Structure 1
Amino acid sequence: MAYEARPSTDQVAAPLLRGGDDDPQSAQSHSPGPSMSRRIANVVQEPLTGLTKVLLVEVLILLLISSVFIGLFAGAQHKLNLRNGAPGGGDGGGGGNATQTETRTATVTHTNTRTRTTTAAASTIISGIVTTTATATTTAVSTALSTVFDPTTTTKIATTTATKTSVYTSISTQTTTDVHTRTVIVGPEPTGPPSDPSPAPSDKCLTPDCIILAASILSSLDTSQDPCENFYDFANGGWIETHPIPGDKGAVNSFSVLSEQNAQVILKLLEDDSSIQDDSWDDQLLRKIHITYTSCMDETRLDYLGQEPLQKFVNTIRKFYRGKNYAYIMNPRQGLSDALGYLHSQGVDALFEFTIEGDAGADPNNMILWFSQPSLGLPSKEYYKDKNVITVYQDVIERLLSSLRDDEVLSQENAEIILQTEQLEDSEHVWPPWPWPPWDGDGDDDNEDGRERSPGDPFQNSRELAQKVVKFETEIAEATLDLDKLQQDPFGTYNPTSINTLKSQLSQINFPDYFATFTPRAFPNRVIITYKPYPSSLSEILKRTPADVIEAYLVVRASLEYAPNLGQTTEAWKAVRTLQETLYGFKPGVVGERSQFCMTKVDAALGFATGRYFVNQTFPGESRKKATDVIDNIIDAFESSLRRIEWMDEESARKAGEKAEALRVKVGFPLSPDTRDPRSLVSYYTRVKVHVDTFFDNVLSAASSDMYKMWQKVGKQRNLDEWEMTPATVNAYYNPPANEIVFPAGILQPPFFSQSWPGYLSYGSFGMVAAHELTHAFDSSGRLYNQQGKLEEWWSRQTSDAYQIRQDCIVEQYNSYTVDDGKGGLIHVNGNLTSGENIGDSGLIQAYRAWKAQYEDSYEAGKEYLLPGLSYTREQLFFISFARTWAMNNKPADAVRRVRSDPHSPNRYRTEGTVSNIPEFAEAFKCSKYAKLNPPKEKRCIFWS
């Protein structure tokens, strides 16, 4: 198949500003009440009012005065402890024996002013002139007053006040000024050698950023859980408790939370149009972004227009299908070809889908047509067997068809509706004359529910027509390839053939005319079919389906895609919302913030443009360098591990190393269109036409522009500077035919990444993401592409057989996991569908090894510092950081949808299933040999040892 790059999470999958289909299970148990550290963590993150700030200043003064008395008391207490043999405090770093030292009192005031300017690496500059004509400047002032406690004592350690001002001047330049004032109550000098030395002063970080980071980790934990038994709940129980699922979403997770944070960066830009004053390149971009957003936010205008925009859209489909004489279907074959061409050009797939990707079997860089099965109205085949869902779906279709009636034909009550038929190519079957034969060709002129049809109604009856559309779509679903085979079998989904062969298999489509919809250029004669039987199966379905049912199906496909862009008072919007409530678990009647929805639409329409300003604000050059270093170290760790893999022969290991070395690594933002150059972005979006009063048409214009750009790639060489994700997307992906791993700036933000974080956190979170994408190059399907991206069995037979044993192991492991369906039943995870992603997750061990390999140098450079208030080792915090990236809270309906259609396992199992296969996890937490997450070696599915 045209292998689509698979991200680390589904994103419907969390792309920037996507309004929500993510999430997880609730924590199974929680502690009876928040701990002292939890309460402190919550206080640290609360905003300060003006009165609070005044009071806190007074507290600081009193603290300074009382420091002497505290010192005297501490010294006396210390002597009493020595006399009574009481132990001293721990270091907060976890694990060691605590020591007791004499307390001395001191006041240390430290002021540091620092200005730094960083410029992106020269390697990112391409030929040509790059001009920034508008400077984006923001000033952020944050004040934090934090009181930190060592968890093993009740002694106050430090009080910190900080003011931070940042000014970002361009996409590649950052100037930062920090002023820190810290008052510290210094501990006593040791009276003798401690039994277990506390870490050096540089080991513990007490800056406001470190305090906030520590508080974030503390607040996410549920320490009542045993990490060796329920690690997901241990690491995320607190997070789940404090992140209830909004009524308008089926889930909330760490990806969606960060997406909303990223959205706020763009939202501030959109809500202030005062800087748009002239016709500079940046102003042209900003104006188009602002108009798109404003048109979406104008709900009064949308309600005034009602369903008119969608009605016009579906009537255009009908006109293409019926031909020049609107009351006749003059030529069903030509009409269907024209209607499909129009519908596909607007970004709606129906009956089938064409994508453009490299020819993986011949030349991966030669972009070629791939013919694929379509998306369905429901997420997967299984839903068409679910009577409850089908009942809702059929009702939604009926409401759509009733509200989008063909008024132009209905007004001709006395007109004779004639459908002419034509002989189809390569078939003696004639398209059924409409409205005869009746619905099932049985001569029965009544509805299935026994009611008589209304005479003069060219659609007969919306309810009956809805039933037929569901039946038609069910037949299409049954003719499609199962998702697990579609995802995991690149050889089986690569079936090159000629356009002439496709034409003969699917004779109901006039392909030359269809192709002319997109471009007048001559097309190559070669096409790749992802599922060989599908064209012929679709042809048979079309032969036995009445023309009006096919037309209604096209109308429904268009409505499901575009009705959400109408006002919320319209019947079509309400109907589609009902389906979303069933599939995702949305609370009926609850609608989220309009700004979030509109940000999703702006990103979908103009994501590379908004990405420019997001990168300007959030992604300094040092972040790009640090992220690239992490990725490079993980690739090095993987290459080193190849020499130790017992099941891989030497020649296969050598080739695997060459593929890893050949990976193209892309970090931050794309160069085509060039995120740094507003002229490049203006040119890229020149076909997107927007107007402040026509939100629906704005969305159509953006979709049409995207399809036009896609079809322009046919027959050309791959553009290596293009990305499949926009810069602010919270995700990452591996693309096998291009052999590239891509990390947008959107995911290079806390809680996934920060250039200032200690190594054990960076490698546990973002390092996991990087290792996951790297491992996709060697997962169940990725391993079948060589270093040039070409399909090839490049491993020896012995190595492939050994790999298959491990793949079967992980399939069986994940098949055993279940989710609650919300109805008292359990649904099993599909281990075949998720095997590629589960193998990708096994790459966590590479992130761990990469961190360990650079630890000594990182420690010497002061980059492995400890955080206050955390009594865990660095190794434990590595795994906690990993687990926190999968924090999720979701509703049963959403969990069921994901299990049926998502190649990613539920987040609980992405966490616990992964660490149970890594012995280093059990060693870090000193798990018993009987613990659930410390299985014996023979029950582990280990790939990379």
Structure 2
Amino acid sequence: MARAARPSTDEETAPLLQDVSHPDETPSPHSQPTFFERVSAATREPLNPLAKFLAIATLVFLLLSSVFIGLFAGAQHKLNTGDGNGSHKPVTTTLTVTQTAIQTATDITTATATSTSIATTTVGIPAPVPTRAPEENACFTPDCIVLASSIISSLDTSNDPCENFYDFANGGWMKSHPIPSDKGSIGSLETIAVNNRRLLQQIFSQDSSSIFASAASIQTDTGKPNPYDDILLKKLRGLYDSCMDEELLNARGADPLIRVIREIRKRFRGDVFDPIAPGHAETGDDKKKERLGLTAAVAFLHSRGVDGLFTLGIDGDVGDDPNKMTLQLGQPSLGLPSPEYYEEEAIVDLYKNVLERLLVNLYEEEETLMQQEQLMEPSALTIHEERLRVWPPWPWPPWEGDDDDDDGGDDGGHRKPGNRSEEAHKLAKNIIKFEKKIANASLDLETLFSDPIAVYNPIPYDEFADTFPQFDFPAYFSSFAPRTFPSRVIVDNPYFFPNLSSIVDSTPRSTIQAYLETRAALALAQNLGTETEAWKAVRSLEERLRGIKPGAVGDRAQFCVEKVEGSLGFAAGRFFVKEAFGGESKKRGTKVITDIIDAFKDSLKHIKWMDEESAKAAAGKADAIKVKVGYPLSPNTEDPRSLANYYYNVKIQKTTFFENVLSATQNEIFKLALSLGKQRDPEAWLMYTSQVNAYFNPPANEIVFPAGILQAPVFGGNWPGYLVYGAFGQVASHELTHAFDSSGRLYNQDGKLEQWWTNATSERYNVIQKCIVDQYSSYYVEDGEGKRIYLNGNMTSGENIGDSGIIQSFRAWKSQFQESKKAGNEYLLPGLPYTREQLFFISFANQWAQNIKPESVAIRVRADPHSPNRFRVEGTLSNVPEFAEAFKCPAGSKMNPPQEKRCLFW
């Protein structure tokens, strides 16, 4: 439940640290003979037969190398210049090297040795200026060539890096990675996720003997596979196999979803005894029965991972004890991504149509299921005939008591027979009205994401329960944690539940029931077969909102791996780590992070807006941050028994994919509920191991980096330092900076909400924050229909400030450069006419390479606190003077604005 805070401010003109020493000084030309002088001298010596043979062999090798370089350069030239017939196309360095290389063997040697000093030339565009010594040799191992090739292929040198750096660094990648028809976007980070899932797919698909033989498990003292690993693999593969059986999924139709809807419906109506509400079905008090019915239905929905009416969370009490796990309740998500969509007529019409389709389909599938049950149990026939005496037949849906304009008033218990499509149409309209009321009662996303003080509202339980009298909170709580009862509750909006009470009072029960049922359908239909009507209805909404090609369905195996990864993520992570996170990955990744922390602490004494007292406190918080890299120890990734116990209650059968996913979801919620009232588990993680992401958790004051993101092209264990710090360093510095962003700075080093900076420092910080809010508020995207959607600078300021931390990674790299170079970790790559500093920033930008549909980027701007990727690169680096210096950007260019217009935090 961590939130990010967002005060507003003015501009700041304080410069960043200047005059960083340059590590690439050119050595004196008189210090020793150059390579070419040695070659020239050697050519004047008489050659013996062996020397002649070696010379010929060398020439053959170099000629073959030139052919490879030529082929690669030709392909890259076509990629960057189109068909090559234009008169104003750029001349790439790689092509120049190749043309020179094929002249003579001596020329090949010269071109190879000096390729890094040949600048790219583009008509009207200043090329980046290399600064390293031309005599410095590049690495030509296969790994180095492949790595260099990946960087070269990502570039589009027809763009000026000082005016359009995002396209300069990523244009080649964007041309070669079109958006798949079944996706709304494709990005560099998404490709890592795809690769991770391919590896997991191999694990889930292989037989046990082969996976154990590949050392994906810890062996016992007898040399045999650990039996707990076998248990884990059976669950992982069972869930995967049940997902892959599309024929069975389509044959089952919507039956699994109908059974969930039945349970919601029976609880809502009070027609079934429920353990959370003893005497529920027996009470004669209609109001009490309605109250318990609503409680039981919502509790059932929440236990299956679907929010409705409100959300449930458990996290530290940041105002009292950040490590005491406390109940936290908040506003729910909506059927549409954000409130703005409820004002778009075309989107609302589509959403209404989807709800209608779901409601009609639920009824039809219910009828089919009842008929199947009658064949198995003839005694049910009498009950079925009784249900059909009135329309609509029990139990779908209860029309009684409807008194709004669309339903035509109360008819004394049941509506008269009518057309089910018309009734579904009316219910769908009422659901949308209901959701709009909830949206109006909710906090705006700007406050929700950015202001941890505004969303921290502790209320004694007795006082809180009175704010929503239509709900039985003791019964609700006992359904999740029967042995623990909260003494107080934290809500993100103190006015939401009183308003929700009024909304529920003024809404027909049939609408509330239909709302709960469609919430389940919208969330769970993806787990049905793709031929079912419910799946198709929900998919049509996603296609429209994200710009996906209608009817396009991606690779089933990737979808199933993703479902297994999300359902049994810690178990899957054990085997992922064994296969993809070995060697020195954890050690080197941790060093990058700690180097950045050290650079941050060192920079504090140079920050003009921060006084000495605040700087000392900030250094203390940085020292206190817990760094977690790779995988969790609770449940313990290194101990299969720990994982087997964690997933003990997850029941997996190969023929019941829908139910398998629900079982895993219930297990996660049960584990979370068990933490209520206890102290935080210091080894627990909020992400699974193979996830391509990272996070800062303010109450725990920890930064966490799963093994999934420590993969190429974000991280390479043997990469040169300037690439590692530019790529993975941006991830590490981003998460560290979150501890001091507009929200994170409001938590002290113990994770408690507290004013721990001086007032003067806070006021000066607010000035710079306003600068960055204004900067990003000026950016906009197109929605695909010619309309501009401007970024919400307040909502995104925390993430934008986090991105500004890249300067700390740059400084961290510089501070360890000489030592790293001596160790051979700053080697050059072939065919790259750029300095190490330039490649640092190119590798930073490469992580945000992305193609995205206008519809998908519109959702991001409206509902995501992260800015679109283009602005995460150019908006960030325009505030970094070191970038402009590295690329020799002229004053006043887009990436080198006047100093007084830069938003300089660090």
CA gap of 1:611–1:800, structure 2 versus 1, over 3 A, is: same
Alpha-carbon distance, 1:608 to partner: 0.7
Establish whether residue 434 from structure 1 lines up as the match of residue 381 from structure 2.
Answer: no
Aligned-partner Cα distance in 1 for 2:540–2:745: 42
- Counting strand residues as a fraction of each chain, which structure ranks higher? 1
Q: 2:530–2:536: 8 Å Cα contact kept in structure 1? A: yes
Q: Is the 8 Å Cα contact of residues 107 and 185 (structure 1) preserved in structure 2?
A: no
**Pairwise CA distance, 1:201:** 7.5
- Mapped to 2, the partners of 1:442 and 1:300 lie a distance apart of 43
CA distance in 2, matches of 1:782, 1:665: 16
Equivalent residue number for residue 317 of structure 2: 359
What amino acid maps onto 2:682 in structure 1? Answer: L
The 1:145/1:318 distance shift into structure 2, 3 A limit, reads farther
Q: Per the alignment, in what secondary structure is the counterpart of residue 699 of structure 2?
A: helix
Paired AA for residue 774 in structure 1? L
* Residue matched to 2:256: 309
Distance in 1, matches of 2:208 and 2:754, equals 56
For the 8 Å contact 2:628–2:703, the answer to whether it is kept is yes
- For structure 2, which runs of at least 5 residues remain unmatched after alignment? 6-35, 45-53, 60-65, 74-92, 119-129, 213-224, 274-280, 371-382
Q: 1:765 maps to what in 2?
A: 727
- Output aligned runs, 1:478-557, within 5 Å: 478-557=440-519
Can you give the 5+ residue segments of structure 1 that lack an aligned partner in the other structure?
7-70, 80-103, 110-143, 159-183, 420-431, 446-451
Equivalent position of 1:574 in the other structure:
536
1:352 CA displacement: 0.5
1:398 counterpart (356, 367, 382): 356
* Equivalence for 1:321: 268
Task: Give RMSD over aligned pairs.
Answer: 3.2
Aligned positions of 1:439-458 closer than 5 A: 439=405, 443=409, 455=417
The match for 1:822 among 776, 781, 784 is 784
Does the CA-based 8 Å contact 2:100-2:111 persist in structure 1? Answer: no
Please name the residue that 2:241 is paired with.
294
CA contact (8 A) 2:3 2:450 kept: no
Residue 459 of structure 1 contacts residue 465 of structure 1 at CA under 8 Å; is this kept in 2?
no
Tell me which amino acid in the other structure corresponds to 2:669: M
2:227 is the counterpart of 1:252: no
Change (3 A) 1:444 1:727: closer
Whether contact under 8 Å (1:763, 1:847) holds in the other structure is yes
Aligned residue number for residue 44 of structure 1: none
| Residue 388 of structure 2 corresponds to residue 413 of structure 1 | yes
**Structure-1 residue corresponding to 2:227:** 280
C-alpha deviations, 1:547-587, integer Å up to 9, x for none? 11000000011001100110111110000001101111110
C-alpha separation between the residues in 2 aligned to 1:754 and 1:607?
23
Q: Aligned to 1:345, which of 279, 303, 318?
A: 303
Q: What is the CA deviation profile of residues 236-284 of structure 1, one whole-angstrom value per residue up to 9, with x for unaligned ones? A: 0010000000011000001110100011111111111242898811111
| CA deviation after TM superposition for structure 1 residue 108, in Å | 6.7
- Quick one: which of 821, 828, 838 aligns to 1:866? 828
Contact 1:754 1:762 in 2 (8 A): yes
- Separation (CA, whole Å) in 2 of partners of 1:391 and 1:930: 48
Do the aligned partners of 1:105 and 1:188 also contact (CA within 8 Å) in 2?
Answer: no
1:153 aligns to 2:115 (yes or no):
no
State whether structure 2 residue 681 is matched by structure 1 residue 719.
yes
Alignment-derived partner of residue 49 in structure 2 = none
Q: 1:743 aligns with which of 705, 712, 721?
A: 705
Which amino acid in the other structure matches residue 206 of structure 1? F
Q: How does 1:770-809 map to 2 (within 5 A)?
A: 770-809=732-771
3-state SS of the aligned residue for 2:435? helix
* 1:377 counterpart letter in structure 2: G
Q: Deviations over 1:474-521 (max 9, x none)?
A: 110111101110111111111111111121000111011111211221
Measure how far apart 1:856 and its partner are.
1.1
SS, match of residue 312 in structure 2: strand
Q: For 1:410-467, what per-residue CA distance to the aligned partner results, in whole angstroms no more than 9, with x for missing partners?
A: 8623259999xxxxxxxxxxxx99244254587599xxxxxx9861679971111111
Shift of 1:732: 0.6
Question: How many angstroms apart in 1 are the aligned matches of 2:329 and 2:787?
Answer: 38
Aligned to 1:666: 628
Equivalent residue runs for 1:647-686 within 5 Å: 647-686=609-648
Answering whether residue 332 of structure 2 is matched by residue 374 of structure 1, we say: yes
After TM superposition, give the deviation of residue 593 of structure 1 in Å: 0.3
Match of 1:216 in 2: 150
**In 2, are the aligned partners of 1:350 and 1:554 still within 8 Å (CA)?**
yes
What is aligned with 1:180?
A: none
**Gap change, CA 1:154 and 1:437, over 3 Å in 2:** closer
Number of matched residues? 776
What's the secondary structure of 2:466's corresponding residue?
helix
Kept in 2, the 8 Å contact 1:146–1:211? The answer is: no
Q: Tell me the distance in 2 between the aligned counterparts of 1:197 and 1:517.
A: 66
Task: Determine the C-alpha separation between the residues in 1 that align with 2:297 and 2:604.
Answer: 53
Give the secondary structure class of the aligned counterpart of 2:816: helix
Structure 1 CA distance, aligned partners of 2:826 and 2:476? 60
Q: Percent identity over the alignment?
A: 52
Tell me if structure 1 keeps the 8 A contact 2:467–2:497.
yes
Distance 1:207 1:417 in 2: 74
Indicate how the Cα distance of structure 1 residues 514 and 881 shifts in structure 2: closer, same or farther if over 3 A, else same: same
SS in 2 for 1:466: helix
Structure holding more helix per residue: 2
Q: Once the 2 structures are TM-superposed, how far is the Cα of residue 325 of structure 1 from its aligned partner?
A: 6.5
Which residue matches 2:798?
836
Q: Decide which of 292, 296, 300 is 1:334's aligned counterpart.
A: 292
Kept after mapping to 1: 8 A contact 2:392/2:415: no
Superposition deviation, residue 860 in structure 1:
1.4
Alignment partners' CA distance in 1, 2:836 and 2:132: 15
Deviations 1:808-827 (A, max 9, x none): 11010000001011001111
Partner Cα separation in structure 1 for residue 669 and residue 475 of structure 2: 17
- How far residue 664 of structure 1 moved from its aligned partner, in angstroms, is 0.2
Q: Distance in 2 between matches of 1:312 and 1:352?
A: 23
2:3–2:452 CA contact under 8 A, matched in 1: no
Rounded to whole Å, the distance in 2 between the matches of 1:157 and 1:365 is 64
How far the C-alpha of 1:866 sits from its partner, in A, is 0.8
**Where do residues 261-276 of structure 1 align in structure 2 (5 Å cutoff)?**
261-275=195-209
Q: Deviations over 1:272-305 (max 9, x none)?
A: 1242898811111111100100000000000110
Structure 1 216/226 Cα, relative in aligned 2: closer, same or farther at 3 Å? same
- Distance in 2 of aligned mates of 1:577 and 1:529: 33
Report the equivalent of 2:862.
900
Deviation of 1:687 (Å): 1.1
CA distance in 2, matches of 1:257, 1:417: 49
The aligned residue for residue 10 of structure 2 is: none
CA deviations on 1:794-833 (whole Å, 9 max, x unpaired) are: 1111110100011111010000001011001111011111
Alignment partners' CA distance in 2, 1:334 and 1:413 = 27
Q: SS of the residue aligned with 2:904? A: coil
Residue 526 of structure 1 deviates from its aligned partner by 1.1
C-alpha distance in 2 between matches for 1:279 and 1:807: 54
Q: Answer yes or no: is the 8 Å Cα contact 2:4–2:743 preserved in 1.
A: no
Distance 2:512 2:683 in 1: 40
- Find the residue that maps to 1:461 and give its secondary structure: helix
Kept in 2, the 8 Å contact 1:202–1:865? The answer is: no
Whether 2:185 is the aligned partner of 1:227: answer no
Q: Distance in 1 between matches of 2:880 and 2:409?
A: 66
Aligned to 1:594: 556
